[in-house]
Amino acid sequence: MQRAVSGRAARLVSGRQLSPGSSLPACSRTSSRAARLFIARGVGGSADAAGGDGGGDAAAGAPAPPPLSTPPPPLPAGIEPALAPFASQIAGRRFLCTLCGKCCTGDGNVWVSEAPEAARIAEHLGLPLPKFYELYCQQYSRVPGWRLLKNDPNSKEAQHCIFLAPDNSCRIHAVRPLQCSTYPWWPELTDVSQWEIEKREICEGFDHPDAPEMDAPALAAAAEQLRAATVHDLQRKLATPPPKKGKGKGPPLQWPWPPQVP
């Protein structure tokens, strides 16, 4: 099960921006469990903007800077138009789960919606919903309608997900949180640099040599997961109240409210 911020990689999504070379804990929670910020990608500006005094003809003849990211490969035939914007962000990538368990350990958070996710997991475990909250969720969440899963109290520094089994399987795989089931197709991991960091620092399954290339059906399924993860993340962010003015230490937080939907 993957958590949000790299190492539980998304525990989706406390929003932490990572830079190349930074060190992360292990995979599926918000990615170290993944919650990272969306990274705005762009292409270099005009020659005039890049120049300066004295640029002259030499600057005009200089080669243009390369784009910040490689354009995605063309989409295979059969991708629905509604999924094309999502498919184009992940086309050409490959993933294979090796049951390394790193996505379910390390720093990060796994968010579940009270309805339907928490209710579905509680039913699967044969527990009343209040008992599920008591046993498996943190006592407090400042986001109405959402809960944070606990860590395994016996894992200490490793911070294993409470549902991670000794063989690195998920004890509730059939009803695991959407944040986990959609990994690695998270909005924050569509950025090439974030994908490479996750691959290098956390999950060996990214672009694994044994992972098959995605044909049209597989790409469509991954695009569906990316769309679901995007909606899930935005729903939680929209439910998050802005911090009260003057609360906490230091200067007031700069909080864009309401959140901007990409």
Q: What is the pLDDT of residues 211-260, one digit of tens each?
A: 999 999 999 999 999 999 999 999 999 999 988 775 555 444 444 545 55
**One-letter amino acid identity for 165?**
A
Asked if the model's pLDDT at residue 13 lies above 90, the reply is no
Angle at 143 between CA 138 and CA 148, to 5 degrees: 25
Could you give the CA distance from residue 250 to residue 38 in angstroms, rounded to a whole number? 25
The rounded Cα 4 to chain-centroid distance in angstroms is 6
Helix (H) or strand (E) holding 111: strand 111-113
Asked whether 119 and 252 are in contact (CB, 8 A), the reply is no
Flag the least confident range among 3-12, 96-105, 121-130, 250-259: 3-12
Helix (H) or strand (E) holding 113: strand 111-113
Could you give the CA distance from residue 241 to residue 239 in angstroms, rounded to a whole number? 6
Residue 59 corresponds to which tokens in the numbers above?
A: 């600057």
What SS3 class is residue 222?
A: helix
* Of the candidates 74, 37, 84, the residue with the CA atom closest to the CA atom of residue 191: 37
The rounded Cα 60 to chain-centroid distance in angstroms is 41
Give me the residues paired with residue 10 across strands.
30
Task: State the pLDDT at residue 71.
Answer: 65
Could you give the CA distance from residue 86 to residue 38 in angstroms, rounded to a whole number? 14
The rounded Cα 171 to chain-centroid distance in angstroms is 21
User: For residue 9, how many other CB atoms are within 10 A of its CB?
Assistant: 40
For residue range 15-52, list pLDDT tens digits in order: 333 344 443 333 445 444 433 333 322 333 333 333 34
Asked if the model's pLDDT at residue 98 lies above 50, the reply is yes
Task: State the pLDDT at residue 203.
Answer: 94
Asked whether 224 and 83 are in contact (CB, 8 A), the reply is yes
Domain boundaries, the chain: 1-38+78-241
Asked whether 11 and 34 are in contact (CB, 8 A), the reply is yes
pTM value is 0.67
